[in-house]
Chains A and B, each alone.
Chain A
Amino acid sequence: MAMTLAEKILAAKAGKECVIPGEIVMVPVDCAMMTDILGPRIFAEQIEKLGKPIKNPAGAVVIADHYTPAATEHQSEIVKFSREWCLKHGVSFIELEGPCHQLLAEKGYSYPGSILVGTDSHSCTAGAFGCFATGIGSTEMLGVLVNGEIWFKVPESIRIEWKGSLAKGVYAKDIILQTIGEIGHAGATYCSMEFFGDTIESLSMDERMCIANMAVEAGAKVGLIAADQKTVDYLKYHDISQAENAPLYCADPDACYARRLVFDASDLVPVAACPHEVDNVKPVQDIAGLKVDQVYIGSCTGGRLNDLRIAAKMLQGKQVSKKIRLLVSPSSQRVWREALEEGLLKALSDAGSVVLAPTCGACLGLHSGTIGKGEVCVSTTNRNFIGRMGSKHGDVYLVSAATAAATALEGCITDPRAFL
């Protein structure tokens, strides 16, 4: 029977010939990822009381990324608790290296054909590797740790095809924002969003991760991109053993999709998600000139090497506006070092930006760039909800790294095409 990407992965993992939407399948979990904010500190007591061991400690990892570098004593204690819990239970622990989804990719936890669950809604990022990856709650995670498996209702799938070449100044972030603007922030609830087309195939893994990362902003369970040679090359480059024999599933041409959407990439212009919903998407030129207080380039959505290259190229030899502050947080320690070696951090710093540690901090208003009452932030992150980056009386606009850099130069929202 013809199957979508989601159906192929679930069928293989459930040991079935085929699966159909609505069917419930039990699948083994290859990677159970927990963060510091929603990890052991939430369920440690309960797991202790249950008295059951962790079924597959080797497949579990805790990544302290929200409260690192800790801004308060309490945050530090939460990280300490997570570290000690991991030591006690034989679970890998990573801290201070950056947002979890980037680290899962770099360290080989996101690989084709696998099942990954994380206590963070953007766990769908790993879908860029053809990995069935989704966010779950902390209690659900407790069940996964004890049982080593999870049940899923096979989702209906939405086929999203992007055809043609992107114009100069238009990037993967614009693709996903435009897609969400079209589908709506609940338009893919419970579904698998599957991205196809020559535009998607032409994108680097950094860019594909930016797209899969935001599938949850349309309500999707997973956001999948078929693994190909680029996926394998990324894994090899990062010395990940799963590069060998990785199943490169393709959706069948006659697979059943609940909905099919086709976009022409050459029509796309730089866009922004305006306050306070991710599907409130407008062309940047329509809101150009709006006064901005802070520009933020970072996070598991928009702080990868690719983003830093775009920003550094635009800012090279120039100065950011005195009216704003530009904060840059590379999405991992590895990205930080690569950007350093490429001279990107120098270019960004010379232009007047402040390069921070890799962290989730500012994206959800925890630390390292929290905005105040009445402030406007233009950001390469993934959510612009009320109060998301700090004050509930602040505004957040979500954009590409290019739009963020152009905005930083001008001090107001600016279409990046003028700088290319």
Chain B
Amino acid sequence: MDKIKGIAHKYGNNINTDIITPGKYMELSIEEMAKHAMEGVDPEFYSKVKEGDILVAENNFGSGSSRETAPQALKQAGIAIIIAKSYARIFYRNAINIGLAALELKEAEEILDRDELEVDMQAGTIFNLTQGKTYRFTPLPDRLLTMLEAGGLVAQLEQS
């Protein structure tokens, strides 16, 4: 995968899936649902995210409901990568399955809102261009990187 460069949108702990995609919008298409993503904590989310931006959060990102619409809506809104200190397990697996990279970074709290980041998925490095810092993370195994590159599990199955 190529390096990904984008602006960080920073959130705190315990951003659950009811915040990412509230239940009341679940009837909508992903395109429409994405317009309400993160509404509970940040009503401006959809309007400020640009294609290729990066969502940064702290602990327990994606807890709660198993709704896969949560990573789908973030991806639809333009988020290219999620960086968090830790994830809830169903969300983490859902994100990779639908082709949205989710990275674990213990220094995630050092990243500030609007920092410009450059992520090298293969090397396992994140360069914070705004702060001039470099962070290291354990790269995903090749098998998952290939799945992400294909666009997720289904896209990969279609190719094979």
User: Footprint of B on A, CB under 8 Å?
Assistant: 37-38, 42-43, 46, 49-50, 66-67, 72, 74-75, 78, 118-121, 123, 135-140, 142-143, 185-186, 189-190, 219, 221, 277, 364-366, 370, 383, 385-388, 390, 392
7 smallest A-B Cβ distances: which pairs? A137-B94, A364-B23, A186-B60, A137-B68, A135-B66, A139-B97, A121-B66
| Given A38-B66, A139-B154, A388-B18: A365 touches B23 (CB 8 Å cut-off) | yes
User: Footprint of A on B, CB under 8 Å?
Assistant: 14, 16, 18-19, 22-24, 26-27, 39-41, 59-60, 63-69, 86, 88-90, 93-94, 97-98, 152-154, 157-158
Look across to chain A and name the residue whose beta carbon is closest to the beta carbon of B61: A186
Query: Which residues on the B side are within 8 Å of A138 (C-beta)?
Result: 68, 94
Nearest CB on A from B98, distance (A): 6
- What are 12 A-B contacts with C-beta separation under 8 Å? A43-B154, A137-B68, A137-B90, A137-B93, A139-B97, A139-B152, A140-B97, A140-B153, A185-B63, A366-B23, A366-B24, A387-B18
Look across to chain A and name the residue whose beta carbon is closest to the beta carbon of B60: A186
A46 pairs with B154, CB closer than 8 A: yes
| Interface SS, A side | loop
Nearest CB on B from A47, distance (A): 9
B90 pairs with A121, CB closer than 8 A: yes
Nearest CB on B from A348, distance (A): 26
A72 pairs with B23, CB closer than 8 A: no
Query: Of B19, B26, B86, which is within 8 A of A385 by CB?
Result: B19
A136 pairs with B93, CB closer than 8 A: yes
Query: Which residues on the A side are within 8 Å of B86 (C-beta)?
Result: 186, 189
Nearest CB on B from A321, distance (A): 28
B158 pairs with A49, CB closer than 8 A: yes
Query: Which residues on the B side are within 8 Å of A185 (C-beta)?
Result: 14, 60, 63
Nearest CB on B from A322, distance (A): 29
Query: Of A37, A186, A370, which is within 8 A of B26 by CB?
Result: A37
B26 pairs with A386, CB closer than 8 A: no
Query: Which residues on the B side are within 8 Å of A370 (C-beta)?
Result: 24
A140 pairs with B94, CB closer than 8 A: yes
Q: With the chains together, A119 CA to B94 CA distance in Å?
A: 11
| Given A185-B63, A364-B18, A386-B19: A38 touches B68 (CB 8 Å cut-off) | yes
Q: With the chains together, A37 CA to B21 CA distance in Å?
A: 13
Query: Which residues on the A side are within 8 Å of B39 (C-beta)?
Result: 387, 392
A390 pairs with B24, CB closer than 8 A: yes
A386 pairs with B40, CB closer than 8 A: yes
| Given A137-B93, A189-B89, A277-B14: A365 touches B24 (CB 8 Å cut-off) | yes
Nearest CB on B from A360, distance (A): 9
Query: Which residues on the B side are within 8 Å of A390 (C-beta)?
Result: 24
Q: With the chains together, A388 CA to B41 CA distance in Å?
A: 13
Q: With the chains together, A121 CA to B23 CA distance in Å?
A: 14
Nearest CB on A from B54, distance (A): 22
| Given A142-B154, A364-B18: A137 touches B66 (CB 8 Å cut-off) | yes
| Given A50-B158, A75-B27: A42 touches B68 (CB 8 Å cut-off) | yes
